[in-house]
Structure 1
Amino acid sequence: MHDIRAIRENPQAFDTALARRGLEAMSQDILSLDSERRAKIVEAETAQAEQNKASKEVGAAKGRGDEAEFERLRKLVAKKKADVARMQTEAAELDAQLRDVLMGIPNLPLDSIPDGQDEEDNVELHRWGTPRNFGFAPVEHFEIAGVRPGMDFETAAKLSGSRFVMLKGGVARLHRALAQFMIDLHVTRHDLEETWTPVLVLEDMMTGTGQLPKFGEDSYQTREGWWLIPTAEVTLTNTVHGDLIDHARLPRRMVAHSQCFRSEAGSAGRDTTGMLRQHQFEKVEMVSITDTETGMEEHARMTSCAEAVLEALELPYRTIVLCTGDMGFGARITHDLEVWLPGQNQYREISSVSYCGDFQARRMNARYRPEGGGKPEFVHTLNGSGLAVGRCLIAVLENGQQEDGSVDLPSALHPYLGGATRLGADGKLA
């Protein structure tokens, strides 16, 4: 959420930043609503002071035995009390309107972010690894002979409908091994705190990280009112919801492996085959809570943590910075990691690492107490996939596929698979 004081101080800068996002100027409408709200607050406070003054005069008139003046003042107090209540209600309604408006506006991009309309305008930062020369035509993950017995879309569709998969045998074990490997790497090498979180959250938690109110259709809500998390970003970031933290406890770096649920409302017709885009999937998510000074340094660190997973798995990838038109709602800067998928002959996103500044913290009212005292400040938040487990499974299968339908597996996974080094063409680990 945006700071109304910053908009008051420099409305032109606010509108200029919105224009880079492809949005119309909003500052004048916002400031008009803000002025009306502030005027109503002053009006209510003035009426309250008049009510208090009349209340004191009521007692004085009664003490003098002046019945006529007592009755006049008593009626005036009653009227002022009603006026104050009405004005406070109107002020509260205007405050809610302003909050709703500010809640629906995306974060402002950093000055360094490239301008652009969509993914075609993203800028590549670097590449790692060289796509393998197969000597045969590589296929997509679900077409590999050794994968077909362990990737059952038909049974999943019978159980749950489209965009679900049931993993079995060697493929299921490989999927589990990938998640375990990622968690271990982040905990032991990157010093992230392993965390296990609920997947059902209250509405305030979804609002805190920006999924609500704007993107409610992208997530699932139960009849009881809980929301299924689309990512553990929601739970990890909201661990500081409403808190005032000592600066000495920052940065707080966490990682969680969780189930994730997305309706994929805006992706009709996209990636309908295979398990690239599912309603239910698993992800290893990283979140950092830090101060106002070290956010960009932390963003670089988190990006390198995600890159380390791909490098350990020997998967070629590229890192790009998203342009203003392709960034997510809550981000000020986002690095996407795209892994090479030979079956599609292209790089596909496997991680987004975003720095949100104080945007989420304002929604959550999450603050820290600066060193040496001073006024509390909003924390800065970051989140990033480390990695999407299903997409990583796809990448391992496609990059390791052999002409006979087997799959050679990265050496980093061998200890997690009981020493197995390949997925055979029969679907069994060997």
Structure 2
Amino acid sequence: MRTPAETAPNRPTAATGDAVPFRVAVVGAGPSGCYTAQALCKGQPDIEIVVLDSLPTPFGLVRYGIAPDHQGAKAVSRQFERVFAQPGVEFVGNVSVGTDVGFESLLENFHAVVLATGLGADRHLGIDQDPDARVVGAGDLIRLLNSDPDSRLRRRRDGLDSLGTEVVIIGTGNVAVDVARLLAKSDLDFIASDVDDDALRTVAPDPVRTIHILGRCPSHLAKWDTSMVKELAQVVGVHVTVDGAPLLGEPEVSPRTTVDVRFERVPVSIRRHDGRIRVTTHRAGDSHLADHLDADTVITALGFDSSAAQAARFDGLDAPNVFRVGGPATGRLGNLAENRKLAADTVKDILAFLRGREHRPRAGLDGLRGQLPASAVGFEAWRRIDDAEIRRARPDRCRTKFTTRDELLAAAADSAVLPSTPLATTGPSTTQEK
């Protein structure tokens, strides 16, 4: 890592003339954290920023949450890479705040701390549900197909197998459409993507034949973008109906996958039934009229649990120099445009706070070095991971990601096996990366 004090000019204080640059720690290197760092650099060019993440890789949901066949949206990571290339901006990955580095250390060593940790857990249905029923969160499934090393589905003790030939998706947002599209596509439809082929072949050895999408709202209140639904309907071999009516007309040939969208269906229970899963719903406004739908797997696409933002409770969370952005601030995960605006608004508050008072010098990253694990990953080490994934890309894929932390850390060290020396060391430097 570069030494922040060597790479960013100092800002004299009005009272003393001493050089005291603003130092800010951002916890979370996803889109909200990266947009925050970007806006801070624009608003205060001499600022010093350290972006920490528990994963060895930056970019969070850009890398692991955007559908792997939407590479255009993932391209925002190039913009974020330019942020980390600026003097005074550091990425420190594979570091858990609250475990490796105490939150109190961030408060001690930085003038401001920004929580941009996102929301990690799928929201539960909150209905009568058989504990043995096959229910999968849409966020977990997309993370699996994006090669997230921390994917809950990858870590399942009972293993992971095919989702079956018929699935029910509960929810009518863009994530629900993403899941339907990913499960309905053929191999040729994933050309130039970075999908985890092994995971995809496990959960969907063949495109799923029937996909039911259930929404409790009327059709005009669906949260998905119309363009997303049209994209799904335009996949070759896919036929979409909405409340029984074809979305784009009748198919010319027998479809490979039928997507059946039903609105105003309120889920009541999910039970095992004759070796399958039975979803019972009632019509919105009429709880006496029940419908039953049998499938192999139920996938919930209801957003994310806002309580997950408080899963790690740090001392000083309500201190005046602690700010929240993205999921921890709003309780929801917005799209990239929303995250960018929220980050820009938060940065105005941060800079107003910093400029509104005199600050004693803070050590910044240097004050954390004794706490950083040997396997901490800097931005140059991330570039080695990035290069290695592109070089190992399978045919017709833009990259093939590593799926375990050990693989990621070995690539960061430019080694086939994990060494015992610090993994992110980039060569001779005035400071040793730990």
Superposition TM-score tier, normalisation by shorter sequence = under 0.3
Greater RCO, CA 8 A, separation 6+: 2
User: TM-score if structure 1 supplies the norm length?
Assistant: 0.21
- Larger Cα Rg: Structure 1 or Structure 2? 1
| TM-score, normalised with respect to structure 2 | 0.21
Q: Name the structure with the higher helix share.
A: 1
